[in-house]
Amino acid sequence: MFAQKRLGKELSNIHKSLPPGISIASASDFTNWKMDIQVLDTNPLYADQIYRLNFKFSGSYPIEAPEVTFIKEDGRDIPMHPHIYSNGVICLDLLGTNWSPVQNVESVCMSIQSMLTSNTKNERPPGDDTFVRSGYRSPRNINFVYDDNTV
């Protein structure tokens, strides 16, 4: 109830206006939304690419963080980034220990957008192969070590 009311408000705001480079792909219910994001400057890593983010909300959103991952869908790929595993899992403290209920879908999209914008390394996180093979799909069960503040 609480989560639905708040997501309803967010949705009506999103339909009204969104920052450049962010658009809504689908939001048919209050458990799963898909957002498209785009890096707007001339970063050669992400130029002319659109990426799709999948938001999964629990009943205790916004007290609990949503699960946010990149997904491969409609020809969208997983962006190359030293904090994004090739299965789409994002290692970002804002989505884990540093989540605050004041954040919303829009602010999360903008954080991830700026995380991509400032990146110059065309690489995956260390141990990407093992991580992807271990089959973790849900970021919630992972204890990331947020060790790198440079990107």
Partner 1 sequence: MAPSRSTRISLQSVDLRALDYLTSPSANLLCPICHSPLITPVQTRCLHTFCSACISLSLERSLTCPVDRKPLNHDDVTPAPIMIANLVNDLMVLCPNRDKGCTSSCARWLVESHVREDCEYAAVKCAKEGCDGMVERKEAEGECVHEEVECAFCEQAVRKLDIESHYKECPKLDSDCRHCSKSFPNPELSAHKLVCPEEVIDCAASHFGCSYSSRRSELDEHLSHCHFVALTPILQLHTERIETLELENKAIRQKLDILVPPRPLPSQSGTSSAANDSSSSGRDMTSEMQDYTYHLYSEYEQLRSDVERLNAQIRELDVKQDMARFNEGLRYNDEMTGVRSAINGLRMQLHWLVASRRENATGGAGAAGARSVAGSSAGGDGRRMSDSARQVVKL
Q: Which residue has 């192969």 as its token pair?
A: 129
9 interacts with partner 1 by CB under 8 A: yes
Q: Name the catalytic one among 7, 39, 91, 94.
A: 91
Among residues 9 and 72, whose Cβ is nearest to partner 1? 9
Which residues are within 8 A (CB) of 151 and not within 5 positions of it... i.e. 6 or more apart? Answer: 81, 82, 83, 115, 118, 119, 121
Does the annotation count 109 as an active-site position?
A: no
For the segment 73-132, give every residue that binds partner 1 (CB under 8 A).
98-102, 104
> Which residues in 42-81 contact partner 1 (CB under 8 A)?
60, 62-64
Q: Which residues contact 126 (CB under 8 A, 6 or more apart)?
A: none
CB 105 within 8 A of CB 14: yes
The catalytic site residues sit at 91
Q: Which positions lie near partner 1, rule CB under 8 A?
A: 1-2, 5-6, 9-10, 60, 62-64, 98-102, 104
